[in-house]
């Protein structure tokens, strides 16, 4: 029984624009467990420039984690790796795949393992998702929006914060054609505005019946974010604000101080399933809602996120539609039909 890892560089089909820059490739790490003639995989979805565990000794820590298996339990490893959330999630995937499939004689596809029992896993139910619109020139953004609407999406998320005036015009035009009851619009600023700019943006967004704005200002401006959330005419969702917050009490205190309307959970960035559940417990205590999204993982990680999300029985659109962004992604049983993510039976 041996656990190992190897790096894998995902190549974007088209450059992805955000307020942090344009993405053309993404480094990820694949964990591999070999035992009894079977292989079990997990993805450590490190996000360069964003992950809290984007540190020089990342591969050393990953090697250490592999060497500890199976002497240490997943619980023990998870606690010792609190500052390495992507490794936590990768290990969770390997352990869960092994537990679920070790006695399954039909198991032969480690990139698409069954992980959690659900109607979604069996291809019977889908998960409602939003359509993602990347930043870019106005015509490029409009073309993406047209594509998502034609595909049947009833909720779209638009990246903003690079050229706000042009982005604002797109949002106004979009709303004139599609009222809120027909199209839910979310916007994601990725911290692209200053506090003063964010106040103005929120006022401009209010008449457009925007569902929510993600991370209007950069993370770690706790007092300013709390002020925005207390006074905002548009619901605010925390995203990057959650990164690097490791302890459960620290999580609760952050949410209790800022009091956002929503938080967005990316398992690769917040400690996998167990770390996400800690955030959810805090939300339940404080009356804060949440949804789950991917963080540009390959189809391997997306498969795990989607199957776990399904057993939470979400009612609002989730952010799980990024699996088709890469030229060299792994084959997947995940398929977007209309505005839902499904998992094919075979």
pLDDT per position in the chain (346 positions), as tens? 799 999 999 999 988 766 567 788 999 999 999 999 999 999 999 999 899 999 999 999 999 999 998 899 999 999 999 999 999 999 999 999 999 999 999 999 999 999 999 999 999 999 999 998 877 788 888 898 899 999 999 999 998 988 899 999 999 999 998 999 999 999 999 999 999 999 999 999 999 999 999 999 999 999 999 999 999 999 999 999 999 999 999 999 999 999 999 999 999 999 999 999 999 999 999 999 999 999 999 999 999 999 999 999 999 999 997 778 899 999 999 999 999 999 998 6
- Per-residue confidence (pLDDT) for residue 325, from 0 to 100: 86
Look at residue 345 in the predicted model and tell me its pLDDT. Answer: 81
Q: Assess whether 159 carries a catalytic annotation.
A: yes
Confidence (pLDDT) at 309: 98
Considering 157, 159, 218, 251, which one is annotated as catalytic? 159
pLDDT at position 187: 96
SS (H, E, C) the chain: CEEEEEEEEEEEEEEEEECCEEEEEEEEEEEEEEECCEEEEEEECCCCCCCCCCCCCHHHHHHHHHHHCCCCCHHHHHHHCCCCHHHHHHHHHHHHHHHHHCCCCCCCCCCCCCCCCCCCCCCCCCEEECEEECECCHHHHHHHHHHHHHHCCCEEEEECCCCHHHHHHHHHHHHHHCCCCCCEEEEECCCCECHHHHHHHHHHHHHHCCCEEECCECCCCHHHHHHHHHHCCCCEEECHHHCCCCCHHHHHHHHHHHCCCEEEECHHHHCHHHHHHHHHHHHHHHCCEEEEECCCCCHHHHHHHHHHHHCCCCCCCEECCCCCCECCCCCCCEEEECCEEEECCC
Catalytic-role residue among 121, 218, 251, 266: 266
- pTM for the whole structure: 0.95
Quote the pLDDT of residue 17: 62
């Amino acid at each position: 029984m041996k656990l190992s890892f190897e790096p894998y560089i995902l190549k974007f089909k088209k450059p992805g624009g955000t307020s942090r820059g344009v993405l053309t490739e993404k480094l990820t790490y694949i964990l591999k467990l070999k035992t009894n003639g079977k292989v079990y995989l997990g993805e450590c979805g490190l996000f360069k420039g964003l992950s809290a565990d984007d540190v020089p000794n990342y591969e050393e820590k990953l090697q250490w984690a592999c060497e500890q298996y199976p002497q240490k339990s997943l619980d023990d490893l998870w606690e010792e790796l609190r500052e390495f959330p992507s490794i936590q999630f990768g290990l969770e995937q390997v352990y869960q795949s092994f537990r679920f499939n070790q006695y399954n004689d039909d198991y032969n596809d480690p990139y698409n393992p069954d992980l959690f029992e659900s109607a979604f896993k069996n291809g019977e139910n889908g998960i409602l998702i939003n359509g993602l619109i990347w930043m870019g020139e106005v015509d490029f953004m409009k073309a993406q929006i047209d594509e998502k609407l034609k595909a049947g999406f009833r909720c779209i998320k638009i990246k903003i914060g690079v050229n706000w005036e042009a982005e604002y015009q797109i949002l106004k035009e979009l709303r004139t054609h599609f009222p809120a009851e027909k199209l839910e619009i979310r916007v994601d600023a990725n911290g692209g505005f200053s506090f003063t700019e964010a106040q103005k943006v929120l006022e401009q967004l209010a008449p457009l019946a925007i569902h929510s704005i993600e991370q209007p200002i950069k993370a770690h401006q706790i007092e300013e974010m709390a002020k925005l959330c207390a006074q905002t005419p548009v619901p605010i969702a925390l995203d990057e604000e959650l990164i690097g917050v490791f302890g459960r009490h620290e999580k609760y205190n952050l949410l209790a101080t800022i009091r956002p309307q929503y938080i967005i959970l990316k398992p690769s960035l917040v400690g996998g399933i167990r770390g996400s559940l800690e955030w959810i417990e805090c939300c339940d205590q404080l009356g804060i809602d949440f949804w789950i999204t991917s963080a540009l993982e390959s189809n391997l990680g997306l498969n795990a996120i989607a199957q776990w999300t399904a057993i939470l029985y979400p009612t609002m659109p989730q952010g799980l539609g990024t699996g088709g962004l890469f030229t060299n992604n792994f084959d997947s049983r995940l398929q977007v039909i209309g505005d839902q993510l499904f998992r094919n039976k075979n």
